[in-house]
Structure 1
Amino acid sequence: MKKIHVIAPSGANPEPQSPFAAIEWFKRQGFEVQNTDCVERRYQRFSGKDAERLSELNQIGKLSGEHLVLAMRGGYGLHRLLPDIEWQQIANAIQNGLQVCGHSDFTVFQLGLLAKTGAVSLAGPMLNYDFGPKESQAEIIPDPLMWKHFQAAIQDRQLDCKVEAQQSYLGKSTAGELTGTLWGGNLTILCSLVGTPYFPAQKQIQGGILFLEDVNEHPYRIERNLMQLLDAGILGSQSAVLLGGFSAYRLFDHDQGYDLHMVFEHLRKRLPEVIPLLTDLPFGHQANKVTLPVGASGKLSYNSSGFVLQSKW
């Protein structure tokens, strides 16, 4: 796959240097990069007016299977577009080989696509920050782990992720092996879709392997969202819950020792004991992230020392 088609479906680009540096980096790797004008588009806080962003999104349904569609960045904006996205046309293009990748606000599109069509998309890196520097950086060298897993996803359509980290929240079973549908993404975004037509049906995610991450959210907000998913019966219907990066938050004196680990401990107490709760998945708003197939079947083996997550789609 040597054609990258950039889309900007959410927030406007806040980093003038980042997308252009990323585009040049991809070109040096031998990729043809298309639709690059979108990185300069802006309307209010969005990367263009709603009609512009919707049209761009629906156009990807006409791309060939040689293309990888890569979101520029997250932010906010995709919720506005959901009712008018041509889901089936995009799913047909994916069936013919097209791949679509992003994370953060792009979770909206990924879960909507899964709910409406069952098509697989990629939760992984985006143009800004992952392949281009922030304004404070002179340059960026893409994280080796991220690049390795990204290539495995777009070229071989496979995931083989090994995590070596002590697992303290496994529950009743300290070791096991299971299979299920891989799904998830940004926790806040996922919660915002519960009860809407863009949240996967129970039959699609029953017994699934749910992965979650978030950014700029205090631990109590993380806990509140997890409690919502628990009380809605979503967490309790999974085969496993994988927690990725929860980054860029700040604790306060008022917290008095309450932190992210306290959140995980409380979730472990309420989550059915047969469901393993795993931590340290390299995924989220961080440099070292794997690329995960949303909607594909996955295999998970785990013990107290870590876990292995695999998929082929």
Structure 2
Amino acid sequence: MTVRPTHTLCPHTPVPALPSEGLIGVIAPAGPAPLDTDKAVQWMRARGYALKVFPGVYEKDGYLAGSDEVRLGDLHAAFADKEVDAIICLRGGYGTPRLLDRIDFQLLRDNAKPFIGYSDITAVHLAISRYAGFVTFHGPLLNADILGDRQPPTEASFFNMLRGQVRAGTALPHPVAYPLTTIEPGIAHGRLLGGNLSMIAATMGTPYEIEAEGGILFIEDINEPLYRIDRLLTHLRLAGTLNKLRGVLVGDVAGVEKTALERLLKQTFAPLRIPVLSGWRSGHCDPNLTLPLGALVRLDAGNKELLLEQDVVVRR
């Protein structure tokens, strides 16, 4: 078994843990979606939390949830609000890349807290990783996941991660009902990076592209046929991104046949001689497990295990 070199990257800063009876803020930095506010408030209250809905959640500007100014304003306001303990995004869709060059990263860094979302929200994860340097969470969206009657592991993974019940040295749990596949065996250490594959590719060549050097790349996607997944991975290969990696964790690639996807992954990553593990239930899937982006992890593809090598939240 090949053991990849020990990481040299500095870990991203852990964020404050979600406290009991904390306040969770909701923002919509991407697309619009109707929100059943009463249902959302009751769901959170039943679990001991209060909910604060920022104004842009109720707006709609075509395929965007409000204007760029409104969505950016809510992002800044949610981080600046000292009473808000964590921020969850309403939905993905489109529009977060339009905000990146206007984000006040010093404001975010000075008020670091759990920030959760996936899909189009990947753009903000990538930008925070590069310019603010704290751990964020590839995890459920309020509308599609939290209020979408997902399987119990979605909720358990979300709260266990944010409350600090998953500590350094712990292997992240994965439901046995969804077997993982070793594409390439081996062990790698590095910072967990990535998110939505289409968004990762879309930010290449910009100041917000993924910092791949020495990282463990996580990818997921939806509504992309196999040839498009091939094109996106080829884009990253030709850009030199894949050569910088120490390992790859593949999440849900919704709509692509499993055997065909695994064949493509083998073709893409076998020449790199890095460990690759596929089938992690995170992304546009049910259950949708929370992953800490920017955190140091140990990927053991042969034993189908992802282990935290740092605490991702700190209890106050």
User: How does the TM-score come out when normalised to structure 1?
Assistant: 0.84
> What is residue 208 of structure 2 aligned with on the other side?
198
Alignment match of 1:60 (pick from 75, 78, 81): 78
Deviations 1:132-179 (A, max 9, x none): 13xxxxxx3x42111111112111073642445353521xxx3x4331
Higher relative contact order (CA 8 A, sep 6+): 2
2:275–2:300 contact (8 Å) kept in structure 1:
no
2:224 corresponds to which letter in structure 1?
E
Gaps of 5+ in 1: 134-139, 250-258
Choose from 265, 268, 282 the match for 2:266: 268
| 1:30–1:75 distance in 2 versus 1, CA, 3 Å | same
* Residue 269 of structure 1, CA deviation: 2.8
Residue deviations 1:247-271, cap 9 Å, x none? 146xxxxxxxxx5533432342342
Query: What residue number does 2:181 align with?
Result: 167
Q: Does 1:181 align with 2:191?
A: yes
> What CA distance in whole angstroms lies between the structure 1 residues aligned with 2:230 and 2:83?
40
Are positions 1:125 and 2:140 aligned together?
yes
Q: Is the 8 A contact 1:61 1:91 kept in 2?
A: no
Which one of the candidate residues 3, 10, 32 is aligned to 2:30?
10
Q: Which residue of the partner structure matches residue 289 of structure 1?
A: 288
Identity of aligned residues (%): 30
Deviation at 1:182, TM superposition (A): 0.5
Residue number in structure 1 paired with 2:251 = 244
- Which one of 148, 154, 157 corresponds to residue 162 of structure 2? 154
After superposition, the CA RMSD in angstroms is: 2.1
Q: Answer whether contact 1:219 1:260 (CA < 8 A) is retained.
A: no
Equivalent AA in structure 2 for residue 5 of structure 1:
G
List 4+ stretches of structure 1 deviating above 4 A: none
Does structure 1 conserve the Cα–Cα contact (< 8 Å) formed by 2:35 and 2:143? no
Aligned residue for 1:4, secondary structure, equals strand
Kindly provide the amino acid, as one letter, of the partner of residue 222 in structure 1.
I
- SS of residue paired to 2:142: coil
1:136 corresponds in structure 2 to none
Distance of 2:76 and 2:191 partners within structure 1? 26
Query: Can you list the C-alpha shifts for 1:163-204, whole angstroms capped at 9, x where unaligned?
Result: 45353521xxx3x43310001100001100011001134xxx
Instruction: Report the equivalent of 2:7.
Output: none
Corresponding pairs, count: 284
- Equivalent of 1:223, from 230, 237, 245? 230
1:110 deviates by 0.5
* 1:12 aligned counterpart, secondary structure: coil
Cα 1:157–1:235 shift into 2, 3 Å: farther
Change (3 A) 1:222 1:298: same
Distance 2:46 2:56 in 1: 20
